[in-house]
A = this chain, B = another copy of it.
Amino acid sequence: MTQALSLFEKHEATLRAAIEAIHDRGFWTPYPEHPKAYGENGDEEGKAAFSRMMNEDFTELLQKGEKGYIGEEVSPYLQLGLGIRYPEFNADDLINKAEAVKRSWAHTNKESRAGILIEALDRVKARFFEIAYATMHTTGQSFIMSFQASGPHANDRALEALAVAYDELSRIPAEKEWVKPMGKFEIRLDKNWKAIPKGIAMVIGCSTFPTWNTVPGMFASLMTGNPVIIKPHPKAVLPIAIVIAEVQKVLQEAGLSPDICQLAVDTQSNPITKKLAENPKVKLIDFTGSSAFGEYVESLPGKTVFTEKAGVNSCLIDSVSDLNAVVQNIAFALSLYSGQMCTAPQNIFIPEGGIETAEGHKSYDEVVTALSQAIAGLVNHPKMGAGTLGGIQAEATFERVKNASSLGGNMLVKSEAIINPEFDGARVASPALIELHAKDTATYFGECFGPIGFIIKTKNSDESLALMKQAAEEKGAITCSAYTTNEAMMEKIEEEMNEVFTPVSFNFTGAIFVNQHAAFSDFHVTGGNAAGNASFANADFVNRRFVWVGNRKIK
């Protein structure tokens, strides 16, 4: 453990700064988001490293005893299988190995755990470009989003979860002499408190954000002393496999077993998720994905579960200063990664009487036309379009948007197959924009994952707000946005939406978008509505992974 403690010394300043940041909540990061911050040849080398991995077995992992190699990732850009295969293990084998290392990890103190895990993040940092290409060719994200989301932003969230955990583990003293005055004498007890890890943890990843959505639960469980089994989506393994390999290497160097953090790969035809999740030794599960599967995970008895499921995010337009700036911002929010972000807006509420702007009243039709044109302008922009949209990860999403006209309503903007000049076979679809009426809740209260937006014509902003609130309450919402220049309306929107545990972003224009939640500042998912019970990273997100147990001894 000497090695681990020297890693703690190496990284203690980063940890302390991260803890300060989660209390301060201003902007902070040790991982700049711009690729240029990571060396001149990083891009080229990362691309080459990714290319070398293709059509080879992934042999970097230190976990042993695989029964074979499997893999079925397909690049949405190349429309080709990556040909990378990962070691395959039975569910019981993974559980037994995690069980075998449980105590040694539980006994590793919080300083050593923090040192090991921050060192691993440091080594992941050196592979951000590689991870970016791996993400791009599994999720369909653009290069820049792949770099940022799976690189610096994911590392931010991992470090944040780790920092919150370290902070929580430090809140109760390790020991204390307790002296109770009893009049003529005193009672003296030596007390200690231990944060006992709950047991084997499992993290179930999603296909669109294979590291960003996986590392918070993974690092929170590891930091609180639980061995972790990571079960990525079979179509998006490589990005997190690289992260896990780096964690395993540091564990082994510190004299610990790499089985403390295992990768569990499966295939769509032979899934092992339920076998793992239902095993009574698995006590903690983090899940990102569909509501149906999320509810199944939540229903499992005897588990502590953290979920991010589907929600319906809304945007309310009441009044604006600069309509052009507003529609540009919304068009980008809708188009970014073709609406495949859990934070993408879907329902845009506009009053039938139009809105006030700094340049005077604009009719409903003028607002709708401005937004429609902004979308068309963005997606057809030769330098912006293809890069903003990226590729469509799943065939099902592609089918959904192709059949968007079957959803009813008035098709304002059709989804188009934008050509990506770099990858001419890429699966690309620009957003469809459909006009609905307030009464069409049967359509727009459902999540239409991917590039489908609805314009909902309402009587007025009060109706917009009531419907936006109802959707969040009944179906869940991860976020929402609102445009209003009216202070009273702003307060009302905040009050009503917060009451259904939905955060509001007001009057976003320029280079900030509702889609983005910043680590160390914004909670991602409040945990209070049907969109999920996890929140990256509040105190509960780590506290529920261990149990404080206190012991008392007569002196």
Interface residue ranges, A against B (CB under 8 Å): 23-27, 34, 168, 171-173, 176-183, 185, 187, 189, 191, 193-194, 196, 198, 490, 494, 498-499, 501-512, 518, 521-523, 526-528, 535, 538-540, 543-544, 547-554
Contact = CB atoms under 8 A, between A and B. Distances in A.
24 contacts: A25-B173, A25-B178, A27-B178, A27-B180, A34-B183, A171-B539, A180-B518, A182-B511, A187-B510, A189-B512, A196-B498, A196-B499, A196-B501, A498-B549, A498-B551, A504-B552, A505-B553, A506-B554, A508-B554, A522-B550, A523-B549, A538-B543, A540-B540, A543-B543
Most buried by B among A168, A508, A535, A552: A552
A502 B198 CA distance: 13
Contacts of A173: 23-25
Nearest to A175: B25
A495 to B, nearest CB: 9
Contact of A547 (B511, B526, B549): B526
A537 to B, nearest CB: 11
Nearest to A185: B511
A548 B554 contact: no
A554 B512 contact: yes
A102 to B, nearest CB: 9
A177 B180 CA distance: 46
A189 B516 CA distance: 13
How many copies of this chain does one complex carry?
2
Contacts of A518: 178, 180
A505 B178 CA distance: 13
A523 B185 CA distance: 25
Nearest to A530: B302
B172 A25 contact: yes
A354 B505 CA distance: 70
Nearest to A535: B548
Given A498-B194, A510-B187, A512-B554, A26 B547 contact: no
Instruction: Give me the 4 closest cross-chain CB pairs, A-B, nearest first.
Output: A528-B547, A506-B553, A507-B554, A498-B549
Contacts of A522: 191, 550, 552
A528 B198 contact: yes
Nearest to A283: B528
Given A196-B501, A503-B549, A540-B543, A24 B512 contact: no
Most buried by B among A507, A535, A547: A547
A267 B2 CA distance: 63
A523 B548 contact: yes
Nearest to A197: B499
A547 B521 contact: no
Given A194-B498, A527-B547, A503 B552 contact: yes
B523 A176 contact: no
A171 B194 CA distance: 23
A502 B507 CA distance: 52
A500 to B, nearest CB: 9
A551 B178 contact: no
A45 to B, nearest CB: 24
